[in-house]
Amino acid sequence: MSTPLTDISILRQRARQHLDSGAITEGYTADRETVLRLLNESLATELVCYLRYKRHYHMASGLKASVAAAEFLEHAQQELEHSDKLAERITQLGGEPDFNPATLTARSHAEYVAGNSLKEMVTENLVAERIAIDSYREIIAYLGNDDPTTRRIFEDILAQEEEHADDMSDILDDL
């Protein structure tokens, strides 16, 4: 049985209440503070991944480095785009995106591992992508239907993180 729709006059009346809440209406059923925490942790994860990929892009050397470096650069740019999407959603929910570099790695799900060789760099990126994949899947399941907008953002990011992991796995196979 489907959920009954609210009468339009009630929707109009509700929309005029609590205008200071912006996009957060009475129908928002997620725990906003938890969602903001998860978004900020994910923001930290994406920023740490961006920084790691950028380092690896600049440090990649050796015969097979050009293919890996090109992937590192592309992934870095995409991680930065992910961080912007997460920061935008945080502000939509009335929160503040936490870009504090002093606490970035502590809040990140993934670690920042410099890696000394090309193989170590690719391996560390693959590990980080696998961490992001599992944590984002859990966040998506947690959000369910309580916050479909945030869930869709994570679903889109997850799809790209899976591509990143596949890319890193392919490169690792060739090393």
Residue numbers belonging to the annotated binding site for Fe cation: 46, 82, 129, 161, 164
For the four alpha carbons of 55, 57, 58 and 63, in that order, the dihedral sign comes to positive
Half-sphere exposure of 155 (CA within 13 A, CB side): 12
| Residue 85 · residue 31 · CB < 8 Å | no
- Distances in Å between the Cα of 87 and the Cα atoms of 20, 127, 169 are 20, 24, 29
CB proximity list for 109: less than 8 A, separation 6 or greater: 41, 42, 44, 45, 131, 132, 135
Binding residues: 46, 82, 129, 161, 164
Residue type for position 121:
M
- Other beta carbons less than 10 A from residue 21's beta carbon: 13
Q: Which of 32, 41, 22 is nearest to 98 (CA)?
A: 41
